Amino acid sequence: MLGMGKLGIQAQARIAIVLVLSLVLLLVGVLYLKQVQMHGRVTEFTRVTLHDALLEHMQRRASSRVTEAAEQLANPLYYFDLEAIGRIVNTIQKIPDVSYVFVFDKDGRIIHDGSGEIASYGEKMQDPLADSVVSATTATLQHGDGFIDASSPILLGDERLGGVRIGYSLESLLAGEAAALDELDRQMERIARQHRLWIYGLMGTIALLGYIILRLVQSRYTRPVKQLADYAHAIESGRYEIDIVPSKRSDELGDLERAFARMSVSVREHDNEIRKLAYGDPLTELPNRHGFRNQLEIYLAAAGENTRLALLFIDVDNFKRVNDAWGHEVGDNVLREITGRIRQAIEKISGKHFSGEIDLARFGGDEFVILLHSREDEDQSISKAAKHLAQRLIEVIAQPVKPEASDVEVRLGASIGITVFPDDGFSAVALLKNGDIAMYQAKAAGKQGYRFFNQSMASSLNDRMKMEQSLRGAWARGEVSVVYQPICQMKSRQLMVVGAEALLRWKSPEYGQVSPAIFIALAEESELILSLGLDVLRTACQDLASWRKQGKQYAGMFVSVNVSARQLQDGKLPEKVEKILANIGLPADALHLELTETMILEDSGKVNETIRRLRSLGVRLWLDDFGMGFSGLSHLRRLPVDGVKIDRSFVDGMCKEEGDRIVVQNIINMAKDLRLTVVAEGIEDPTQWQALRDAGCQLGQGYWLGKPTSYRGILGLLR
Ligand code: C2E
Ligand code: MG
Ligand code: MG
């Protein structure tokens, strides 16, 4: 693409050829002029030379003739034999070009003039040359107007008898000369004509050659270069699908064409790779967020009156723990397995419950999105299909996963948010946000469930920033409190409180009672959890100190406090804990810190160092929610903890499923082997209590034993 003011190769070639042609023509023109000049000079030179040569020839002839005549005339003149003189004169007169003959005496009087009656006899010669002729002592040549006068004295011995004069006319000499020059001119003109023909031919040939070169340049160079430029332009504007025919040329341009073809292929491949990376997920080979978004935009742009879309946002619960605990390889295998299950679930519903298109994408670590797309949906069947699919997904994802090449069995769950176009939103941005909100709600409602988006969700969760802002000053305003859930000894038949778990509560004037699942996550996203965590620790330790004073049997009571990953990563935690304990005057073993596997297994030197220092203080570390997500019990050996809390879900399941009972039994057995304290969480009825007692569980916690209550509530329990 040539801009204004730029000259293309073809134009340049044309100009170059025109320039060369003009130069050649100029040269030819100059040559022609030189030739015309030379023609003139040659003619002039020839004329002069010819004239001189002819004149000289005539002069020599005249000279020798007059000398010969003088000799012949000597005797006849001596004897004055007029007859003999006349004979000689007549003979001379007959010689061509001779116009007159005069014989004269020593005084210059005419003796014979060649005529029969000698009309001028005795007259003195009167012409302008006469005097020099009479006085000459040797043969003399003189020129007159159009003639040559040759004269010679006639001598007998030393005596001068007279003289003879022969006049030669130059007329025929000049005529012959003119004829010769005419002929020369004709010949020169002929040669010049021939030259001109040659020059015209030459010029024609050069012009033809120029034209041929131009066409050649065009077809051999300009066109291929222009073609390459067009290809480059196409590639530049992202049209990689052009196919460049591989060149068969063997010259540099062929090399260039081939290099260009190779380059375009590699650009295309790179582009595909980049596209794959940018729009696809290499692990599952599903489109990623960007790829999905593009597809969604396409559907939305083409959406008609009856188009319906349903987006299912699937978040795999607890997946991060799998990754952290078993490494990324196991995590990847689990994700592939989950992807396969989602695909199967999709296959199951498509056709039967849903006739439109279904797209699946992976958004991030453990987030999948399914898009149901229907062009004709008048009876809201898309919502039914989405609901059906969500139920099915929750079921199949909850099935234990056994990743290949590992002895692990992983238990996961799924929280699903569903949003529908056009009911919930018109734009991709709105739909993606709504889906996220609905999913977050499903998670907050206790995981393993699905939620359809509704506008009230958007308004309550829309502004998490606002909520975070409000949480910031909540402790100072007294909105946040610590409640305690009693932890009981299980050996004895009667319930005996030996400790309590501190749990945060936030009652916001704006949001009401906010679930710790929501506000703790919010606090963890910011640094807020650091100060909030310290507040809980201080309060719990103070409260414990006062309980301990209630009686001898409570002197050994403990409090357990939940610690977030963010707090562990902050290397100052051991110092702060030590200070709090010292200020309040509590022994370190009165404080139990609840950590999760994820936090401990994080491969970070800082976290390991914090854990080591906490333990060396004498603080007890408990593993919270153990067994949740996976059941790699052998793993327990490697964890630097003093106790485990069996997750509520196992306690809940142990009386219903044999598998769960076995898991609980194994945890208890192994913990005992490892001399770890075992706490069962979420005991909700006496059957569970009994079953756990039978299994040998040491400590228990749950609504049946005591719901989380205030400091005073615990005080009442102790009294
Ligand atoms: P968690 O540490 O596993 O706490 C136990 C949760 O189980 C508490 O929920 C408790 O109210 C609930 N629970 C106790 N017994 C039963 C039962 O018999 N049945 C049922 N269904 N639930 C029972 P809560 O108070 O909503 O706390 C949720 C989570 O929030 C906690 O799980 C903990 O991880 C976190 N959390 C609470 N307070 C704090 C805190 O001060 N710091 C940190 N970092 N996390 C906290
Ligand atoms: Mg806990
Ligand atoms: Mg727990």
Tell whether ligand 1 has an atom less than 6 A from the beta carbon of residue 684. yes
What is the Å distance from ligand 3's center to 707 Cα? 14
pLDDT at 632: 54
The token pair at 71 is: 């000799």
Q: Pseudo-torsion of CA 595, 601, 606, 612, nearest 10°? A: 60
Its pTM stands at: 0.48
Q: How far is CA 236 from CA 231, 255, 484, in A?
A: 8, 21, 66
Taking CA atoms only, the protein residue closest to ligand 1 atom 12 is 682
Ligand nearest to the CA of 488: 1
pLDDT at 291: 84
What is the Å distance from ligand 3's center to 49 Cα? 136
Tell whether ligand 1 has an atom less than 6 A from the beta carbon of residue 118. no
Test site for ligand 1: of 443, 448, 482, 503, most ligand atoms within 8 A of the Cβ:
503
Q: Pseudo-torsion of CA 15, 19, 24, 28, nearest 10°? A: 120
Sheet harboring 450-452: ordered strands across?
Answer: 357-364, 367-374, 308-317, 413-421, 450-452
pLDDT at 3: 42
Ligand nearest to the CA of 447: 1
pLDDT at 180: 85
Taking CA atoms only, the protein residue closest to ligand 1 atom 3 is 625
Question: CA-to-CA distance for 366 and 281, rounded, in angstroms?
Answer: 12
Grouping H, G, I as helix, E, B as strand and the rest as coil, residue 192 is helix
pLDDT at 635: 66
Question: CA-to-CA distance for 332 and 645, rounded, in angstroms?
Answer: 28
What is the Å distance from ligand 3's center to 594 Cα? 8
Tell whether ligand 1 has an atom less than 6 A from the beta carbon of residue 682. yes
Taking CA atoms only, the protein residue closest to ligand 1 atom 20 is 682
What is the Å distance from ligand 2's center to 594 Cα? 6
- Ligand 1 atom closest to the Cα of residue 596 is 34
pLDDT at 481: 96
Tell whether ligand 1 has an atom less than 6 A from the beta carbon of residue 647. no
Taking CA atoms only, the protein residue closest to ligand 1 atom 11 is 708
Question: For residues 372 and 386, is the Cβ–Cβ distance under 8 A?
Answer: yes
pLDDT at 107: 87
What is the Å distance from ligand 2's center to 352 Cα? 45
pLDDT at 603: 61
Tell whether ligand 1 has an atom less than 6 A from the beta carbon of residue 599. no
pLDDT at 405: 67
Tell whether ligand 1 has an atom less than 6 A from the beta carbon of residue 134. no
Mean pLDDT by 10 residues, the chain (719 residues): 58 82 84 84 86 88 90 91 91 90 90 87 87 86 88 89 91 86 86 85 85 84 83 76 77 84 82 75 86 87 87 88 78 91 92 85 90 77 90 92 76 91 85 89 82 76 78 94 96 87 94 84 85 96 95 93 90 95 96 85 77 95 74 66 88 79 86 93 94 95 95 91
Tell me which residue of 644, 601, 22, 630 sits closest to 322, measured CA to CA. 630
Ligand nearest to the CA of 708: 1
Tell whether ligand 1 has an atom less than 6 A from the beta carbon of residue 504. yes
pLDDT at 572: 92
Tell me which residue of 575, 488, 577 sits closest to 541, measured CA to CA. 577
pLDDT at 262: 84
